[in-house]
């Protein structure tokens, strides 16, 4: 009876907020698909060289971009027009490199987005049209073909020595600007197993993923290393049921674990602290020293008929003012909110907080990695 009463009182205190909740020190509940991906499912980079035509005199010059003129002459030759590249003087054409990402499981006839970037001395690609450009993968094979109008999302204008520019008009986008001509075979199951790769390898997270899968499907998952979890596909899911099995894996919830880290951007004064940041008891004193230097000019006027001349003198005054230092004791805590509140209590600015955190780390009282970006 006494044990039941104690259990009831503990549950009541937790529900009332009188006891700390364990979830406060843990990470957020996340799906496996948000922290890991299936090995074998990946995108592929595509690259092509093409021409953008229809520019209003903002294309490549014939003197500095000889390759553009040669490309125009070669293109015209395919249409039965024989023109020497030395005779080309068009500034309405620009040579560009076309890049794209071929998503996993993209099929022939699907469309993908492409990016068009000038490689010559063109000033603006606005209003231009990309001519049919084969897009090749690293193996040299053509997997897509791009063509269509280029959207720069910016502009550049100049006149009389004055110029205005928004964004980068020498780089443009083409939403759905390429058609997939060939698909890339994807194999995400090997010998009856599926392998998950963690986006951020971690021993604890890999173990939790394996435990969550084993709790749901039985003993089928093994954390091979901090970045890999190998799963044996049950017999009932092999074949046509493999896609549904992978979908079930991705929807399982876990609590990922991360290394305690503080990211600092000294240029902007931005500080981002993770939830696992902890400190030991440490005393922090924050104060400042102000030095002010001022100058004043005095004029010396001689008496009348004395034969003297008017003279000026410069006086320099130096004053030093030292602010009273604020000392605060930061208690040992594992709550990042307590750390922030304690630092705010000494009136520290973001710049001061950065210096304080670095000093606490040097003192060995801060248990987190400091990462400067």
CA distance 91 to 103: 35
Q: Is 164 helix (H, G, I), strand (E, B) or coil?
A: strand
Cα–chain-centroid distance for residue 96?
26
The predicted pLDDT at position 1 comes to 43
pLDDT, position 26 = 54
pLDDT at 366: 80
User: Given its phi and psi angles, is residue 355 left (phi above 0), alpha (psi -120 to 50 degrees) or beta?
Assistant: alpha
**Both tokens assigned to 281:** 């008891």
Number of residues assigned to the chain: 373
Between the alpha carbon of residue 177 and those of residues 93, 129, 238, the distances in Å are 19, 11, 37
| Average pLDDT per block of 10 residues along the chain, 373 residues long | 40 34 55 91 93 86 75 79 70 91 93 93 88 94 94 65 66 93 86 90 93 92 93 87 90 88 82 76 63 60 69 63 59 63 70 78 82 83
Let me know: does 271 contact 264? Beta carbons within 8 Å: yes
Provide the pLDDT for residue 306.
Answer: 65
CA distance 367 to 271: 16
**pTM of this prediction?**
0.66
pLDDT (0 to 100) of residue 25: 44
pLDDT of amino acid 137: 94
């Amino acid at each position: 009876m006494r044990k039941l009463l104690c259990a009831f009182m503990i549950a009541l205190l937790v529900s009332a907020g009188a006891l700390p909740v364990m979830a406060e020190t843990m990470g957020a509940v996340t799906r496996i698909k948000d922290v890991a991906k299936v090995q074998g499912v990946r995108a592929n980079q595509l690259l092509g060289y093409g021409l953008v035509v229809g520019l209003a005199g903002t294309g490549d010059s014939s003197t500095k971009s000889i390759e553009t003129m040669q490309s125009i002459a070669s293109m015209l030759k395919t249409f039965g027009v024989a023109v020497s590249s030395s005779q080309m003087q068009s500034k309405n054409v620009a040579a560009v490199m076309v890049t794209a990402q071929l998503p996993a499981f993209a099929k022939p006839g699907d469309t993908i987005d492409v990016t068009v970037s000038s490689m010559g001395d063109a000033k603006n690609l606005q209003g231009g049209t990309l001519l049919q450009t084969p897009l090749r993968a690293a193996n040299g094979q053509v997997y897509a073909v791009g063509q269509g109008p280029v959207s720069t999302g910016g502009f550049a204008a100049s006149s009389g020595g004055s110029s205005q520019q928004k964004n980068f008009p020498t780089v443009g986008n083409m939403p759905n600007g390429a058609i997939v001509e060939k698909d890339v075979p994807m194999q995400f199951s090997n010998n009856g197993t599926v392998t998950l790769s963690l986006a951020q390898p971690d021993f604890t997270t890999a173990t939790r993923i394996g435990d969550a899968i084993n709790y749901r499907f039985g003993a089928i998952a093994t954390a091979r290393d901090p970045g890999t979890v190998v799963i044996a596909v049950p017999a009932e899911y092999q074949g046509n049921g493999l896609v549904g099995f992978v979908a079930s894996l991705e929807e399982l919830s876990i609590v990922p674990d991360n290394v305690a880290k503080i990211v600092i951007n000294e240029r902007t004064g931005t500080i981002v602290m993770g939830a696992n940041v902890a400190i030991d008891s440490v005393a922090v004193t924050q104060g400042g020293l102000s030095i002010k230097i001022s100058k004043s000019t005095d004029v010396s006027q001689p008496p009348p008929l004395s034969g003297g001349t008017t003279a000026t003198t410069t006086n320099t005054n130096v004053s030093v003012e030292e602010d009273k230092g604020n000392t605060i004791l930061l208690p040992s805590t594992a709550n990042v909110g307590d750390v922030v509140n304690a630092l705010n209590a000494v009136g520290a600015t973001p710049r001061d907080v950065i210096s304080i955190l670095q000093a606490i780390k040097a003192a060995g009282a801060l248990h987190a990695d400091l990462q400067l970006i």
